[in-house]
Amino acid sequence: MNLEIPKKFRPIINNAQQVAESVFRPISRKYDRLEHEYPKELDMLGSVLDGFNDGDPANSAGAGQTGKGKVEDDGKVKNGANMSTCLGAMELCRGDVAFLLAMPRQGLGNAAIAAVANEEQLERFRGKWAAMAITEPGAGSDSAAIRTTAKPDGDHYVLNGEKIYVTSGARADCVVVWATVDPSKGRAAIKSFVVEWGTPGMELARLEKKLGIRASDTAAINFNDCRVPKENLLGNPEVDTGFAGVMETFDNTRPLVASFALGCARASLDRLRELLAKQIKLDHERPVDNCSAVEAELYRMEADWEACYWLVVKAAWMADNKQPNSVEASISKARAGRMGNEVTLRCAELAGSLGYTEDELLEKWARDSKILDIFEGTQQIQLLIIARRLLGLSSRELK
């Protein structure tokens, strides 16, 4: 096992570090206070993340898709789009998670399009900024409870329902909407549709006020007899097929969200070490039992961070090499999401009064980290997925 990051990714990592420290952090507090105001500075930085995938949605996180076949399996080890995107995103999140979520053309919907769209759709939606709409008032982590409907009508599907907590929902060019074509069929009838803003019947209901990631807009969207062309359906149109393909998006985006948590936690750890530099001198060769309580706590958090880092790298590497990674993706998300919460909160606590005030970004990173343990599947859902996979049980057999 080669534990060195490939040299070809170093420019991406270095550029992301510079953006995080020189661009994101100086304006982070400003847009945290100005919730819902779009950070105009991101327009000129959109090309930074476009560069991660060479401007092609088929190369974005999600394109390394294990079941799609877009990565040629020639027996050679590959370090591709999933790993590069995770490593770059981790560095950017050392600056501000919300800015990365608000970056043009880098929405979760873009990953879904890259994962399951056909070649014609990939070309048609190239350059579009796509959000993802899954959650409903009565359907959070249980996708089978989705009640937004999509009924065939000639050359269109007619969508009716309400979606909430849509990240970048108002700013994106289009939204990938999960809807059921037959509520009696449960998960098997759930399909995803690309709905572009401006389509009659698609309405912005509100923008949510949030604990963290305030620079990222989170929208509620209503669909009232919204007619969507049939060619905007992603994946297989047949009922009872295709849901596994839709879910495969998460095998690539869950490690990505885990990398967000790694970046946020790394920022907190680095800043805490700077603040405590005059009080303690870290010595990793000294037994932990001979250290002060603060030193021992820092060592523990560093170890937790390191463990999560390699879980994310492994899950991303498996996706790039067409290896089934559902278990690893959920493990990395579950572990890193929880670690991010614990580390950022503990760092704010150990920094004393500085960690609780707006003089430092520690309190903001602690607030931002909470969502990283929730979206893309909560901690509890990830553990349920892992248990099902390891025990070989279906969702009906293990709830």
**Cα R_g (the chain), whole angstroms:** 21
Q: Which amino acid appears at position 56 of this protein?
A: D
Check if 248 is active-site.
no
Residue 275 lies in a domain: yes
Residue 58 lies in a domain: yes
Domain boundaries, position 359: 243-391
Tell which of 234, 269, 303 closes a domain.
234
Domain shared by 217 and 283, yes or no: no
Secondary structure of residue 224 in the 3-state scheme? strand
The pLDDT, as a whole number, for residue 73 is: 57
Q: How many residues does the chain have?
A: 399
> How does the average pLDDT of the chain come out, rounded?
89
Percent of the chain with pLDDT over 90: 69
Given the residues 91, 360, 363, 376, the one annotated as active site: 376
**pTM for this structure?**
0.91
Domain shared by 384 and 264, yes or no: yes
Domain shared by 195 and 279, yes or no: no
Q: What is the pLDDT of residues 79-111, one digit of tens each?
A: 888 899 899 999 999 999 999 999 988 888 988
Residue 231 CB coordination number (10 Å): 12
Q: What is the pLDDT of residues 292-312, one digit of tens each?
A: 999 999 999 999 999 999 999
Domain shared by 217 and 149, yes or no: yes
Domain shared by 337 and 361, yes or no: yes
Secondary structure of residue 266 in the 3-state scheme? helix
- Is the pLDDT at 56 greater than 70? The verdict is no
Q: Report the range of poorest mean pLDDT among 246-250, 281-285, 375-379, 382-386.
A: 246-250
Domain shared by 207 and 308, yes or no: no
- Is the pLDDT at 140 greater than 90? The verdict is no
The dihedral through the CA atoms of 226, 227, 233, 237 has a sign that is positive
The pLDDT, as a whole number, for residue 54 is: 52
With bands split at pLDDT 50, 70 and 90, how would you rate the model's confidence at 72? low
Q: What is the pLDDT of residues 156-212, one digit of tens each?
A: 999 999 999 999 999 999 999 999 999 888 888 899 999 999 999 999 999 999 999
